[in-house]
Structure formats: structure tokens, C-alpha cells
Amino acid sequence: MHKDKAIVIGAGIAGIAAALRLRAQGMEVEVFEANAFPGGKLHAFSLDGYRFDAGPSLFTMPHLVTELFQLFGLPPERYFQYKQKEVVCNYFWEDGRRFSAKADPAVFAREAAAAFGVEEATLRAYLQNSRKKYDLTAPLFLENSLHRASTYLTPKTLKAVAQIPGLGIYDTLNGVNEKALKEPHLVQLFNRYATYNGSSPYRTPGIMSMIPHLELHLGTYLPKGGMHSITTSLFQLAQDQGVVFHFGQKVDAITVENGRATGVAAGGEKVAAGFVVSNMDVYPTYKQLLPGERQPEKTLRQERSSSAIIFYWGIKKTFPELDLHNIFFSADYEREFDCIFSKKTMYDDPTVYINITSKDEPADAPPGCENWFVMVNAPHHTGQGWENIISETRGNIIRKVNRLLGTRLEPLIAAEQVLDPVLIEKNTSSYRGALYGAASNSRYAAFLRHPNFTRKIKGLYFCGGSVHPGGGIPLCLMSAKIAANLIAHDKN
């Protein structure tokens, strides 16, 4: 057995991080990537003088990136720089209300209380609760495997389990927010955090009210050079440390002998290794790479998360009322999520997210212009007529921005590219174009998500947004850490 060699399938951000952690253990590591570039969803492109980050646009918990450099005794700033944002997000409502959410929790509570007519103490208590839930549950739900008994035999875990009734598991996120906040604008503002794992606030458990802690206590950041620099810096680090990458090299199968992964088949050849880590979506990992092995059908049948329609627009104007992150809310949030998850279609008044990196990185757009990353939540792909849906959604977005900003947007669009659930599936092998793998629309979702290993095949591990602990950059990086720690334990 090649116990000192590992193969990683997929050079997404979790795959690169797993490769780095395994390399830091002294292992020989090879990464196979079907695309011609690293990063998976976290990549970038340029169009007519505008630079766009193609995928994730929110950066929190930067220590999960910088600690990868520290594994090798290197100063992170040599490869990677970032700055904290003072404004978390600008919010716009159809009734004309606007609110700029500051990153400082005390400032947020004071200004939100004044803006929405609630007691400052109510908001402080909500944020303190968010922090408490995160501190109690992160060691169990985020930082370790949920599927090994040793995780549960720690004082932190036992303390968290003892307080489960107060964590909101038996209520929805919307239910928790309505009881705690009551004011409709604030409820909607905090309901939006369900979208961070591709779920509905009217179905996902109330424990997800811990997510605001990531922004309002730990902060939001922008890397120098945009989000894509997370990929480029970690890729450069991996190359410098001797990780071998094979781009344009699709893995055809994971080879298994006597119940153990022995490597991969790619390009007509077999490559042997003692350990295999799949950063590919768990559904195609089983269906395409392990067709002859026993399938975890219950897990693979789980409801998929939401997807997205993204318009990349080069805008021939600057909007001083906008910042890096901006949200234009639907007038009927519950109906929007019902359309996405029950009807599997788009609502005609979608919530619109606009990310503009040129606010902080002026070179991302020509002078006097802005690069708009415009995203709306969408159902995962089930064969809908996306061409018509995209056309209708584009019109709905433009009309909404026109209403809320008092502008005429369409003549300002100088460059345009579109990403939809079909292309997301095609480009990233994300099953049905779901951005976060399985949805978290039940209180048991965290436990039903595929673990970072399988008891059926020794030596096979999983990382990325489709497995524990979930999607988004921080959780993907945590999944890589969990998988690498499991390998360190299992190889000894």
C-alpha cells in the first residue's frame, strides 16, 4: 500500500486545502482536475475591460486560509493579503427603507435599533445568542466529523448537547427571528442567512441563527486582487510545496480492491495511492467514479440546495449608494422561497444580491465604471426551461434595481455574461447545479449530510461543499481539515 501517497480528485478550494494539509503531513500528493484551471467555483474571468470573480463573493474567517501558510512556517502575507470591511452589506426594501449594516456589533445594534424602532438591548441579545450558538456548536457541527464517536466524547460536545433545547433546533430560522426580533425588516434581514447554505429560512432549523456571528463578530473581508486571489495564492503555495497538479485530466474511476481505495484511473492509466480524497460533488463521485460499489442511496436522494442565476454586468456608471455587498429584498420573501423549493421556479420579484469588487479594487473596472456580480437564488436544475426563465429574471432584476435606485439600468450595461444552474452543473460537476450539495431544510440535515469518509471503502475520504460540514468557503476549508485529520489518524 502506498501509505505515503494521496490523490485528490478536484482542485476546488477544498481540494487544494486538503492537498496542502496532506503535504504538510509529509505525504506525496497529486491532484487531478478536469478543468484547465484551479479553484472550481472560485475562479475569475475578464470581459471587455471588466474583471469578475465568477463564484463565491463573501469572505469570512480568513484564518482558515492563513493557517495553511503557517503549516509550512511561511508568513501568509508573502502570498495573500486582505482587508476587513467596515460595512457588511447595504440593504434596500421595496417600501423605500435602506440600511447600511456595519461590521462592529455595537455600532450595528445601535444603528439598527434607531433605523427600525426596536430596543438596542433586543439586538444586542440576538447577536450574543448568535455568538453563543456558534461557540457551543462549532466544535460539533463544523470542526470535527459528526460521524465518529470520538467527536461526542468531549466536554465541549457534551455541553452543547445539554443545551440543545435552547439552540433553536426545534424551530425554523424564521420562527426564531420572528420571536426574537418581531420587526419585519429585521426578520427578513436575518432570515437571509439561510441562503448561506442554500436553504429556506422557513424550513431550515433555527440553529442557523448562529451564522450572523461570522459577519458581525468575526468580520467580512476582501482579499487584495479579489476573491480569486484565495485560489491563486493557495495554488501557488501548493506548487511551491511540491504538490503535483494534473489539469484537463478527468478521473474516470476510483479503483477499489478488497474494500479499499487503491488510487484512480485517469487518461487510460491507473495511478496508485494509499489514500484518495474526492473534492468532487458526492453524487457524481458515487455515480460516475464508483458505479460498482454500494451506493448511499438515502444520502444521495436528499433534497438539493438552491442554485443561482448570475449576471456579470459591466456598468458604465458608479453608484455611491452601493458598496461591496448589496441586497435588494423581495417584497414577499416567503413566497420567493416557496417558488424556489416547492414549485422549482423563479419568483417574479426575486431578492437581488449585487457584489462590486471595483469599489475596493478600482482596476476591476474602467474609470467611472463598476463590475456588477448580480445574483438571484434559483431552484436546482430539474429540466426547467432556463432560457425563458433567465430572460424573465433579467427583466425583473432590472426593473427592481430601477425602482429602488431610481435609475435606468439597461442602457448602462456595457458587458454581459450569464451563469445558470445548467452551466454550474456542467462546469463544476455540482449535481443539478446545487451550490451547496444537499439543502439544510430539516433539523436533521447536518447529520444526514455525507461524512468526510465512508466505512464501506477504507482509504476514501471526501471534502468540499457537498459533504460535512457544508458549502461556502469557510466550511469547505473546514471539510479539508477534517478529511486530512482523519487520514492522519487512520494511517498511523
| Residue in 30, 59, 33, 212 with CA at minimum distance from that of residue 126 | 212
Comparing 158-162, 181-185, 428-432, 475-479, the range with the smallest average pLDDT is: 158-162
pLDDT at residue 67 greater than cutoff 70? yes
pLDDT at residue 300 greater than cutoff 60? yes
* Greater model confidence, 347 or 145: 347
Give CA angle at 483 (478, 488), nearest 5°. 125
pLDDT at residue 149 greater than cutoff 80? no
pLDDT at residue 12 greater than cutoff 50? yes
Q: Band of the pLDDT at 135, cuts 50, 70, 90?
A: confident
pLDDT tens for 199-227 read 999 999 988 888 888 888 888 999 999 99
Under a CB-based contact definition with an 8 Å cutoff, are residues 467 and 15 in contact? no
CA dihedral of 465, 373, 183, 85, whole degrees rounded to 10: 80
Mean pLDDT value of segment 372-377: 98
pLDDT at residue 448 in the model: 72
pLDDT at residue 491 in the model: 86
Architecture of domain 5-34+248-302+443-490: 3-Layer(bba) Sandwich (3.50)
Which class in CATH covers the domain with range 43-103+306-435?
A: alpha beta
Q: How far, in Å, CA of 226 to CA of 204, rounded?
A: 31
pLDDT at residue 141 in the model: 66
pLDDT tens for 227-255 read 999 999 999 999 999 999 999 999 999 99
pLDDT tens for 75-96 read 999 999 999 999 999 999 999 9
* Greater model confidence, 426 or 440: 426
pLDDT at residue 158 in the model: 47
pLDDT at residue 137 in the model: 76
pLDDT at residue 152 in the model: 40
Mean pLDDT value of segment 429-454: 85
Q: Band of the pLDDT at 442, cuts 50, 70, 90?
A: confident
Mean pLDDT value of segment 304-328: 98
Report the predicted TM-score, pTM, of the whole model to 2 decimal places: 0.94
Q: Return contacts of 329-335, CB within 8 angstroms, 24+ apart.
A: 329/91, 329/92, 329/93, 329/94, 329/188, 329/192, 330/94, 331/93, 331/94, 333/188, 333/191, 333/201, 334/174, 334/202
- Mean residue pLDDT of the chain comes to 93
The letter for the amino acid at 492 is N
Element at 51 (helix H, strand E): strand 50-53
Q: Where are the domains of the chain?
A: 5-34+248-302+443-490, 43-103+306-435, 107-218
pLDDT at residue 447 greater than cutoff 70? no
pLDDT at residue 138 in the model: 76
Q: How far, in Å, CA of 159 to CA of 156, rounded?
A: 5
